[in-house]
Structure 1
Amino acid sequence: MKKIAIQGIQGSNHHIVAKNYYHENIVLNECLSFDVLTDSLITQKSDEAIMAIENTIAGSIIPNYALIDKHNLHITGEYYLPIHHHLMALPNQKINDIKEVCSHPMALLQCKEFFKQYPFIKLVEDVDTSAVAKTIAEQKIKGIAAIAPKIAADIFELEVIEDEIQTIKNNETRFVILQTQKPQNNTAHINKASLRFELDHKRGSLAAILNVMSDCKLNLTKIQSLPIIETPWKYAFFVDVTFDTYEDYAKAKSIIQIMANNFKILGEYKNGRL
């Protein structure tokens, strides 16, 4: 069975993605941080890893781009998960019994409008949504609730006090599938790529790259800049592109490789939106 590293524990959104993406028996390596998840791959404790990379409300998870780049990880696939946040606690409690809610900072951010109705509830950041649910269940803690996916309530036998408390109901997180070795993907099934490159400080240098993508019929779905730590005020660009034919992409790739500096292919894979 494949060993899959996830950020968090059973009942987390990463766990849901693992179940939905692999459709087979897998062994989960639970990691309480993305650094630990990355180390799990590098040290071969895991065959593949699932990493959240961006959210429709909170935007890009910048440190994760840096981890993928720094450790030369390969993106082999992606999965878009609708996010549903539920407030859960030990059974037989109502929301007025809750004095404190603990969850991952991203979950708290995505539910902040809901908690404006309950100013008496203290919001506390924690490392993982489901880890809080597990602690509440194991230690039988009353008066404290967790924000987590509904699967966590089922696993840890908690009661959902409030359903769907996220501010924006149409909320999705994009996850990428990672491994250390470059996969031998069939080009017939590849219609998306993640690229990384640097540009000289010249007028129109980025525009020239974007024109190449347009001329080669690539659709730019994401662009993100990150500072290059060793060189102040210089940035690396991370882009995602989709395409109808691999030949169009291959042509663009060969041109960009000449025009840009330190060009790197982070992954070529199937578009998870199709």
Structure 2
Amino acid sequence: MKNLDLKECRDKLDVIDKKIVRLFEERMSVCGDVAEYKIGTGKAVYDAAREAQKIAAVQELAHSEFNKEAVKEIFSQLMSVSRRYQYSLLSAHGMGMDTGFTEVETIGKKNKKIVFQGVEGAYSHAAAKLYFGEDADLYHVPEFEDTMREVEEGRADYAVLPIENSTAGFVINNYDLLLKYKNYIVGEVYVPVAHMLLGVPGAELSDIRTVYSHAQALAQSSDFLSAHKDWKQIAVLNTAVAAKKVMEEKDPSQAAVASRTAGELYGMEILAKEINNVKGNTTRFLILGKEPVYAKTAGKVSVAFEIAHKSGSLYNILGNFIFNNVNMTMIESRPIPEKSFEYRFFVDFEGNLSDAGVRNALTGLAAEASVMRILGNY
């Protein structure tokens, strides 16, 4: 009898579901009419106040607290899908957002001035040479922020900025620089990281008492360094700065965690090879320029946005990627300094600014976020 009851219930659900699908398609047809009206009048697709009123009204039609919450969730999703459909219709009429970017054949690398943070021998230096070539016109500045300022103020054509390491994670403060300065990501390069423990000529491992390096390099080599409990670890601006400092001070009790290239450049002794915890460790560097351009072959887009600090905001806005079949590859959050316990989000996703799905997704992001900026397509 129970099996029969279950079958009867499923049969009833099938009938109800068919009605739901029919009514959904009828609703979407009306949404298309709404989009046509908005196309004709220039009215915005997203009306937060109207949606809030509508959701409150349909909630009152439900007969239990559970159903009221369920109706709220269902209609939030219905409206989200409706918006995406309307954005696609607007784009089809040539009314999608203007990204402000210009497509170019390739990103020019010849006869360009390139700035990186640190000194010769730093991983940023290696990244610059890997992307622009051994003969590139390179110069260095003390701080990461200086590289961004050099580009924005026109003294450099491009900056090289580390953003992420495969084991130590994101270079968090550099994300803030992407919004502080009006520069644009035009490329990226991945540099294999193999840390060496470097000392002055003649030094022995037993002599070491203090180790200098960038904070991430110390973290990436924590297993080896922690095994020497009497060593003091001191963070400096980058690995090559650490190597240069140790060599200049000529103190055999000091060592630096840096690359083999830095050791060769400064004439240092390799006291221990490849001390990083994970072999195959890699750092991702961004290439930033002043002009909002993207190569025809670009395949990744980076954006930053801010949204209302309330339940479901992030979930709803990410629907712009899902509905448009855009594959998100990274998301990172950062506190908004002027808004306590509120966050901005940085997202990377696959695609090109000329792709219809990408442009539709960006149209939705721009409409629904309080702040949205395209950081680059590369």
Q: Report if TM-score (shorter chain) is over 0.5.
A: yes
Give the counterpart letter for 2:328 in structure 1.
L
C-alpha distance in structure 2 between counterparts of 1:47 and 1:131, whole Å: 24
> Does residue 1:234 correspond to 2:342, yes or no?
yes
> Does residue 1:173 correspond to 2:283, yes or no?
yes
Match of 1:234, SS state, is strand
Kept in 2, the 8 Å contact 1:190–1:246? The answer is no
> Does residue 1:204 correspond to 2:280, yes or no?
no
Q: TM-score, normalized by length of structure 2?
A: 0.67
C-alpha distance in structure 2 between counterparts of 1:156 and 1:12, whole Å: 12
Q: Which residue of 2 aligns with 1:272?
A: none
Match of 1:30, SS state, is strand
Q: Which residue of 1 aligns with 2:228?
A: 118
Q: Which residue of 2 aligns with 1:72?
A: 182
Q: Which residue of 1 aligns with 2:301?
A: 193
Q: Which residue of 1 aligns with 2:58?
A: none
Structure richer in strand, relative to its length: 1
Q: Which residue of 2 aligns with 1:255?
A: 364
Kept in 1, the 8 Å contact 2:224–2:277? The answer is yes
Q: Which residue of 1 aligns with 2:126?
A: 16
Q: Which residue of 2 aligns with 1:87?
A: 197
Structure richer in helix, relative to its length: 2
> Does residue 1:222 correspond to 2:299, yes or no?
no
C-alpha distance in structure 1 between counterparts of 2:344 and 2:249, whole Å: 46
C-alpha distance in structure 2 between counterparts of 1:229 and 1:174, whole Å: 26
Tell me how far 1:158 sits from its aligned partner.
Answer: 1.0
Match of 1:62 among 172, 195, 209: 172
Give the counterpart letter for 1:91 in structure 2.
P
Match of 1:163 among 273, 280, 287: 273
Match of 1:141, SS state, is coil
C-alpha distance in structure 2 between counterparts of 1:116 and 1:63, whole Å: 26
Greater displacement, 144-153 / 169-178: 169-178
Pair 1:118–1:202, CA change in 2 (3 A): closer
Q: What are the Cα deviations for residues 219-264 of structure 1, in whole angstroms up to 9, with x where unaligned?
A: 1111112222222232211100013882321221122222222211
Pair 1:186–1:99, CA change in 2 (3 A): closer
Tell me how far 1:139 sits from its aligned partner.
Answer: 4.0
C-alpha distance in structure 2 between counterparts of 1:117 and 1:190, whole Å: 44
C-alpha distance in structure 1 between counterparts of 2:260 and 2:144, whole Å: 23
> Does residue 1:40 correspond to 2:125, yes or no?
no
5+ unaligned residues in a row in structure 2: which ranges? 1-110
Q: Which has the higher contact order (CA 8 A, sep 6+)?
A: 1
Tell me how far 1:20 sits from its aligned partner.
Answer: 0.6
C-alpha distance in structure 1 between counterparts of 2:351 and 2:157, whole Å: 28
Pair 1:249–1:101, CA change in 2 (3 A): same
5+ unaligned residues in a row in structure 1: which ranges? 270-274
Q: TM-score, normalized by length of structure 1?
A: 0.90
Q: What are the Cα deviations for residues 55-90 of structure 1, in whole angstroms up to 9, with x where unaligned?
A: 222222221111110112211111122211101112
Match of 2:320, SS state, is helix
Aligned residues: CA RMSD: 1.8
C-alpha distance in structure 2 between counterparts of 1:263 and 1:130, whole Å: 36
Q: Which residue of 2 aligns with 1:6?
A: 116
Q: Structure 1 segments of 4 or more deviating over 6 A?
A: none
Pair 1:120–1:202, CA change in 2 (3 A): closer
Match of 2:119, SS state, is coil
Q: Which residue of 2 aligns with 1:268?
A: 377
**Kindly, what percent of the aligned residue pairs are identical?**
34
Bigger Rg, which one: 2
Q: What are the Cα deviations for residues 129-163 of structure 1, in whole angstroms up to 9, with x where unaligned?
A: 11221233344332211110110111111121111
Q: Which residue of 1 aligns with 2:46?
A: none
Kept in 1, the 8 Å contact 2:152–2:182? The answer is no
Tell me how far 1:92 sits from its aligned partner.
Answer: 2.6
Q: What are the Cα deviations for residues 201-231 of structure 1, in whole angstroms up to 9, with x where unaligned?
A: 3432221222220221211111112222222
Kept in 2, the 8 Å contact 1:191–1:243? The answer is yes
